[in-house]
Structure 1
């Protein structure tokens, strides 16, 4: 399958992406990448998946080839969830699947809970819910977030983005990654991560996303949202991430034991642990495809 690029007009510019398959006959699957990544995160996985589906991988706002949100105000988690709805409305889907990695999985979780009648199946790749905030710390957390954004906005306005050669940009991507990523995986991501800058390239991702625009909600609110999900769900957990979660050393909350235990109560929820690190879908796409294919193809979604 050869992907086709597309752009969807929105009020702040456009949402870009790439699609594999036939839009008029293939059952749609909305694919959402992780923070500071792009649609290229699925380049090595989707070609291994069934061709009867219409695979639509988007660049979230401020990522890849998509327009960033406007300057001057904090980026909020629900703004990203809303961007998924804009994509769904553009294609006029009434039933579809979702597949998300990391932050993308968290967004798909929220979307599936907010619009439970639209999502038929959901695949969460090493991600489930965002970090939560104790209710008695909400004001403090909000104050801290506002201060962070103000400082970041001031710093970004006073400096010029550095320029790199393509090979140096790939090396920096590998070096700065929170978990191990192969050179081949980095090349898949870098295709949509760079913009021309002088004689070289600069990273095009909106730097405000380094602040992790997670929602300031409590764990109970998150669990209530999980209970709204009606669709069949598959969570694929990387062994390395699971070990870090148990040691409380994850760079951000991909999922939590509490959330997994809550989801285990759902008759339509399955999770599998596979060898690998956070980007296992990129580094070892065959192992992930081996679990995703039977889940999508089996009407009972049992593995």
Structure 2
């Protein structure tokens, strides 16, 4: 199944760029990429999935080929959630499935809890549907302050975008993302950078910094309450060598993930599937066949295998 079209959906600050695979007459699946990634994140996975669906991969605002937010408008988590609703409205979807990797998975999970009647199936790729504050409560105000200070600093800067050589940009990306292979890094940069006379400039908005600066963290009670609103069937695919926490400093603390999985399992019962797979955070790019073998029967509503437990 090849890429069908590239579209630009008009929004108040410009446009949201999307890629479309399959007929728009088929049931839609909206695909949300990770922090600072882009829609190319799904290029290797989508062709392996059932062809009787329409897959739409979007670039979040400030990422990939989507417009940057206007000066003075901050990147906050709820804005990214609202982008999902904007895309659904543009396609006139009343019900659809969501597939999200990492940050995109958390946006997907939050949307599915806020607009439960709209989401049929929820696919989480090395992602938590909502983020607990248990590891972060003492840091939340620091994150909020850091986000504001960074935004004002970037907006006050008059520097021209830095120009990189292709090799320099790729090596920088790989050094910051040890789970990315060279091929996958090159794939993301095809959409994440623009050619200029002297080399390449990065497309993403410089105001975007660390994901924890804009995440909405919640208590365990809030998580339980939110999970009860879910109407979707959920599959959570956890990479064994992936990440367990939004901050790598806490990555050896797995209790929040255990709590989330247990809550989802006890609340959703047969509507929840948890699967652990060997691989790292970019499992959907590095081993798309492994991920597709789990997602395909889930999308088609086929009998599921027994969940793999933590």
TM-score, L = length of structure 2? 0.87
Matches of 2:63 and 2:244 in 1, distance apart?
A: 29
Matches of 2:124 and 2:107 in 1, distance apart?
A: 10
- What's the CA shift for 1:143? 6.4
Q: Judge conservation of contact 1:35–1:209 (CA < 8 Å) in 2.
A: no
Which residue pairs with 2:201 in the alignment?
202
Of 277, 281, 288, which residue of structure 1 is paired with 2:280? 277
- What's the CA shift for 1:185? 1.1
Matches of 1:204 and 1:181 in 2, distance apart?
A: 19
Which residue pairs with 2:215 in the alignment?
214
Matches of 2:31 and 2:83 in 1, distance apart?
A: 13
State the SS of the aligned residue for 2:209.
helix
Matches of 1:144 and 1:165 in 2, distance apart?
A: 32
State the SS of the aligned residue for 2:207.
helix
Q: 1:211 to 1:155 in 2, by over 3 A?
A: same
Q: Judge conservation of contact 1:163–1:201 (CA < 8 Å) in 2.
A: yes
Matches of 1:215 and 1:244 in 2, distance apart?
A: 14
Of 296, 300, 305, which residue of structure 2 is paired with 1:293? 296
Matches of 1:216 and 1:244 in 2, distance apart?
A: 12
Q: Deviations over 1:152-206 (max 9, x none)?
A: 43146333332112232222211111x4211111122111100234411111111
Q: Judge conservation of contact 1:130–1:214 (CA < 8 Å) in 2.
A: no
State the SS of the aligned residue for 2:241.
helix
Matched, 1:42 2:71: no
Where structure 1 has 5 or more consecutive residues not aligned to the other structure, the ranges are none
Q: How does 1:145-294 map to 2 (within 5 A)?
A: 145-155=144-154, 157-158=156-157, 159-177=159-177, 179-212=178-211, 213-241=214-242, 249-250=250-251, 256-265=257-266, 266-267=268-269, 268-294=271-297
Q: 1:222 to 1:73 in 2, by over 3 A?
A: farther
- What's the CA shift for 1:64? 0.5
> What is the CA RMSD across the aligned residues, in angstroms?
2.6
Q: Relative contact order (alpha carbons < 8 A, sep ≥ 6): 1 or 2 greater?
A: 1
Q: 1:300 to 1:232 in 2, by over 3 A?
A: farther
Where structure 2 has 5 or more consecutive residues not aligned to the other structure, the ranges are none
Which residue pairs with 1:13 in the alignment?
14
Which residue pairs with 2:96 in the alignment?
96
Matches of 2:231 and 2:98 in 1, distance apart?
A: 13
Q: How does 1:98-177 map to 2 (within 5 A)?
A: 98-133=98-133, 141-142=140-141, 144-155=143-154, 157-158=156-157, 159-177=159-177
Matches of 1:84 and 1:218 in 2, distance apart?
A: 24
Q: Judge conservation of contact 1:133–1:217 (CA < 8 Å) in 2.
A: yes
Matches of 1:83 and 1:251 in 2, distance apart?
A: 32
Q: How many residues align?
A: 297
TM-score, L = length of structure 1? 0.89
